[in-house]
A and B are shown apart, each in its own frame.
Chain A
Amino acid sequence: MAIAKKAVVWGLFAAGGTLTSFVFPALIALFLVIATGNVPEGLQFEQIHSFASSWLGKACLFIVLFLSVWHAAHRLRVVAHDFGIRKDTLVANAVYACAAIGTVLAAFYLLTIN
């Protein structure tokens, strides 16, 4: 049981690390483009709304957000330990709760976009 649970956490961590390494530079670059005031065509309401309405779009957005928050949560737990916070159970509950909230909110908002 313990090993099985570990495999799930490790799998999410590895998949999340690979995914974030691949897509986050482009996503941060998009936020940079938005910040300069040049909102790309594809991010105008009509277009991004229709993308997020499609099942493929929903699946892409959900997988990116879900894996990212779980990956980050797992690493933040270790970061807390590295900075001398030794209350691991408390930290683990906090970071995984954060990831769970992110996952639920992402799923909820994606399902309400139709």
Chain B
Amino acid sequence: MSRQPYIRPMSTTTWYMRNGRYKVYVLRELTSFLVMFYSFLMIFGLAALAASPERWNAFLASQQSTAMIIFHGLALLYFLFFQTFPWFKLAPKAMPVQVGEKKLPDSYIIIGHYVAWAVVSIFIFWLVGVI
């Protein structure tokens, strides 16, 4: 009769609470809810845009409230610190750039990402006339 193999007791629902790194990982992955939420918010916006000027204005009006200001403000901070910045930090590991014999220093790739991000953001703001 063989012995029962030892299975380390571990919660399948709260395992990440044991370790700070795991908490950060879970918080980072939860940003995917925001991506889904904003994507569908934009799709609802497209539906209104496709329908009529009245529907579009109603959509814009429906988005204006103090609760939404707080929500978007928090969402923006959360997304920046748990998706955008970590993604840029990981970029040299995911996409190392080799020039000749040497690898480009990590800091170049990270700074390059921040510069590109600034350009993209400014372009979007320019496109909609915020700046």
Contacts and interface: CB of A to CB of B under 8 A. Distances in A.
- Whether chains A and B associate is yes
Interface of A: 14, 16-18, 20-37, 39-43, 45, 47-49, 51-52, 61, 64-65, 68-69, 71-73, 75-76, 78-79, 82-84, 86, 98, 102, 105-106, 109-110, 112-113
Contacts of A61: 42, 46
Contacts, number: 164
Size category of the B interface is 35 or more
Interface of B: 11-13, 16, 26, 29-30, 32-36, 38-43, 46-47, 49-50, 53, 56-57, 60, 63-65, 68-69, 71-73, 75-76, 79-80, 83-84, 87-88, 94, 116-117, 120-121, 124-125, 127-130
The A contact surface, by secondary structure, is helix
Contacts of A39: 60
B79 A25 contact: yes
